[in-house]
Structures are given as structure tokens and as C-alpha cells.
Amino acid sequence: MQTIGEPRTMQAWADATRARGERIALVPTMGALHEGHVALIAEARRRARRVVVSIFVNPIQFDRRDDFARYPRTLEDDAARCAAAGVDVIFAPSPGAMYPEGFQTAVEVAALTEPLCGKVRPGHFRGVTTVVTKLFHAVRPHLAVFGEKDWQQLAVVRRMTADLDFGIEIVGVPTVREADGLALSSRNRRLGPEDREAARCVPRALDAAAEMAATGETRPAMIVARARMEIAAEPRAQLEYAELRDPETLEEVEEATAPALLGVAVWVGGVRLIDNRLLVPVECEGRSARSGRAPDGPPGAVEAERGSARFGRRGPGASEEAERGGAARAPDGPPGSLGGQDR
């Protein structure tokens, strides 16, 4: 395994690898790797001959300098984890290498970035799409692997990749969860013991909403209200949003008669936690909530997600096949401010 810090050096490696006819998979991260990332790497390894993990704490997706400064940086530990997972290259550029003096270009996706996290964190997804574009140009992958924990991010990256004709396959991988259901995230390490216990209200809320949908409730207001009740019952938690959306377009759902995405953002102990669940009515087999057809956005076919996005994957400690999922990261800040992203 080698570590590369300059985009041009990364491009040269990629060009040589492509010339040998070898497929390249990219796993974009901001470091502080955990078992969710390992699951992403395992999926990348399954699909490509060479795997590149990018580790870059992206300054342009943070709205506050203290958030950026506090983001965990554990490159030595991350390198050891990557080596054990069979990664070929770590691409770990500096901010100056990615955004040299005079840099003034941005890449932006419109409608998909407006609801959910985009509504409370203006500019965040512009930072994400800009850095992902630069990572794509540096690594020149055939495919890139993202976790479904940040479903909106996955949808945005898919849209950008298609719209700009990158010719890169975007692979979504189910969320890896702790034994109690909490989605794995680099953010979790910032939770104290009491806050970590309180954070269990997030998967409980998703479970409660999923149960309602599975037993026939189709009114979004009722489903969302059930999730809100679980969050409200935890005094250490503050709900930022809970919304039911079409899994493909992220438009609001008028009636949950087809698979619908419940997205939530919750603050616990000053840490912003995001999660989601694909709610699948019992009678529904593979139709989106908006159009009645199988969504072509993340993660793909609804049928494949009945056991993944709906229930998640349990980890760590599962076998590679069982834990094949991913978690994305979201930098946090106090309620009402912008955060970052958990990739």
C-alpha cells in the first residue's frame, strides 16, 4: 500500500493502472475510519482490482472553523485499517493541494440538495460535489462506493455523475449499525456515555415508523409523528428534522403506499446524528412513493433494500458478507447551524 498526497501523482498512478487494464474503485472518506468504512472497502475490493481510499477533511463543506478544526484526524490509525483491508492506495492530499491559491470554482446540483440536510445547511452539498468532482479527476476511478447512511448525499452524487457524464459507476452500500441499531459514524466517538445511551432514540424512532408503515399506516403525518414521539421522549435529544420523502427524487410524499424514505437529523450532546430508513409497505413490491415505479436513485431496486436500508446491517464483528454496508459522516455543530458530512 502506498500513500499519495498530490493530485498529479495520483493521476499518474491511475493512468498507469488503467493502461494495464485494471479497474479502479474509489472509497471517498474524511478519515476517522470505522467498520462501516471497512465494509465500503470490502465492496470496492469485490468490484475492482485496485482500491483507492481518499482521506481528506474537506474545508469547503464546513460552515464553521471550529467544526473543521475539531474533526478527528487519525491518519496513522486509518492507514493501518486500510492496509488490513487490502487497500492499494491512500490518497491523502492537503487542503492546499486540493484548493490552491486562486481557486474559485464550484460544482452544484440543484433540486436534490434543497430538502432535508440541504435545507438547514446551505452550501454544504456544494462543498461535497466540488470535492467529489476533484477526487474523481484525481483518482480517475471506474466506480466509487458510498454509504447509504447519507442517502441524500448518495442521490446528489449519482445525479451529478450522470448529469456531467463522468462515466463512473456509483455504488451505494447499506448502513452498518452497532448491535443496538445506532448507525456507525465517526461522530459517535464524540458521544459521552450518557449521550451514547440517549442516541439509541434515533434507531428506535426509525424502527417505530417502519413498524407503522409495515402494518398499513400510509399517512406521512402519522408516520413522522411516531418517529418524533421517540425522539421527544429522550430529554438529551433535540430533533432537527424528520421527513418522509420519495427515495428517488426526495420530493415530499403525500401517501406512503409505496417505498418511502424517512430521513432524520437529531442532536445529542452537541453531536449531529443523521440516519434514514426505507419504509416499505407490506403490499408494496418495488414501487417508489412518487411514481409507482422502482427508483433508479440510491440505492437501486427497492426489493434489494427490504433487508438493508429498512433494517440496516449489524456490525462490527460480522463477516464481510454480513457487514457489507457503509456509513457516511456528517460534521456537526450546535442545533440550527450547519454541519458537515459523514462520508
pLDDT of residue 85: 98
Total residue count of the chain as it appears in this document: 343
pLDDT, mean of residues 271-300? 66
Identify the band that residue 287 occupies on the pLDDT scale cut at 50, 70 and 90: low
pLDDT, mean of residues 7-15? 98
Active-site residue, from 34, 37, 124, 142: 37
pLDDT, mean of residues 171-189? 95
Q: Which of the residue ranges 233-247, 266-280, 329-343 would you say has the lowest mean pLDDT?
A: 329-343
Q: Are 332 and 340 in contact (CB under 8 A)?
A: yes
Report the percent of the chain where pLDDT is more than 70. Answer: 82
User: What gap in Å lies between CA 17 and CA 12, rounded to an integer?
Assistant: 9
pLDDT of residue 187: 85
DSSP assignments along 135-147, one per residue: HHHHH--SEEEEE
Residue 142 among the catalytic residues: no
- Nearest 5°: phi and psi at 155? -60, -40
User: What gap in Å lies between CA 82 and CA 35, rounded to an integer?
Assistant: 11
pLDDT, mean of residues 307-314? 44
DSSP E strand boundaries for the chain: 2-4, 24-29, 50-55, 89-91, 143-147, 169-173, 176-177, 237-245, 260-268, 271-279, 313-314
